[in-house]
Structure 1
Amino acid sequence: MAVIANAKVETLPEPWSGAIRSGRHQLITDKPESFGGQDQGLAPYDLICSGLISCTMITLRMYAQHKGIDLGAFQVEADFCTNKEGREWIERRVHFQSPPDEALQHKVLDICSKTPVTKTLLRSLEINTQLV
């Protein structure tokens, strides 16, 4: 077994707020005011989207560097969506300052479908919980 990531959250005094620590980094998680939180930090589904888009950005930049391609400046966005039937999905968008040619656009889409976090989200993931 190899651990590739680790994070810990500790409750804060405000309802639904927590301090997340991962390595040397920390951030606040909370719920929006409309859900009774203080909106002091990212909500859990925002964190899922953040993981996906950061992995997408890093993977695209690594690919471009490896192939000697200049993708220029770009942004990646994601929306976590749900409907009345309970179906859930993520809409991801990559915006380039200077759009790549058609062949590279197809390659970018292919790479996006193969990022590590994308692959994790697309397959079943076992979650084991222990009380310690």
Structure 2
Amino acid sequence: MASPSRSLQASALSMACLSIGHTIGGRQWTSDPAFGVITGTKPWACGIVGWFQGSAFFMMTGLLHYQWASNPRLLQEPTNKAIAVIMNGLLWASSAWYFRHGIKENGWVVGFGAALQAWAVARAWLKY
């Protein structure tokens, strides 16, 4: 078995932190008075569930990175490679979306997570 990957461990930790921050951010934006106007509507319901699905995505991503960190050779498997590429694309797209809509702090944090994930996965691909 390959030795544990510190870069993938760092990426796992960053994703867990993103999950917590994302959850806290959701509580903040849903307390905005403008959001209260749509309470009980379909957009409200979809917004709430979608936001917390995003938080769960970050936590699952962190757990997956932790698994990859324990055995970086898993990233040589085509399915895991595809997951890593899709995941990274989603992170970059989310970062760009935040920037495009003026939510710079989220754009920077998610972009950092995307860059860290890309670096950690690329290291594993090249090393193992």
Aligning the two structures, in what range does the TM-score lie when normalised by the shorter sequence? Answer: 0.3 to 0.5
Structure with greater strand share of residues? 1
Which TM-score applies when normalising by structure 1?
A: 0.32
Which TM-score applies when normalising by structure 2?
A: 0.32
Structure with more relative contact order (C-alpha pairs < 8 Å, separation 6 or more): 2
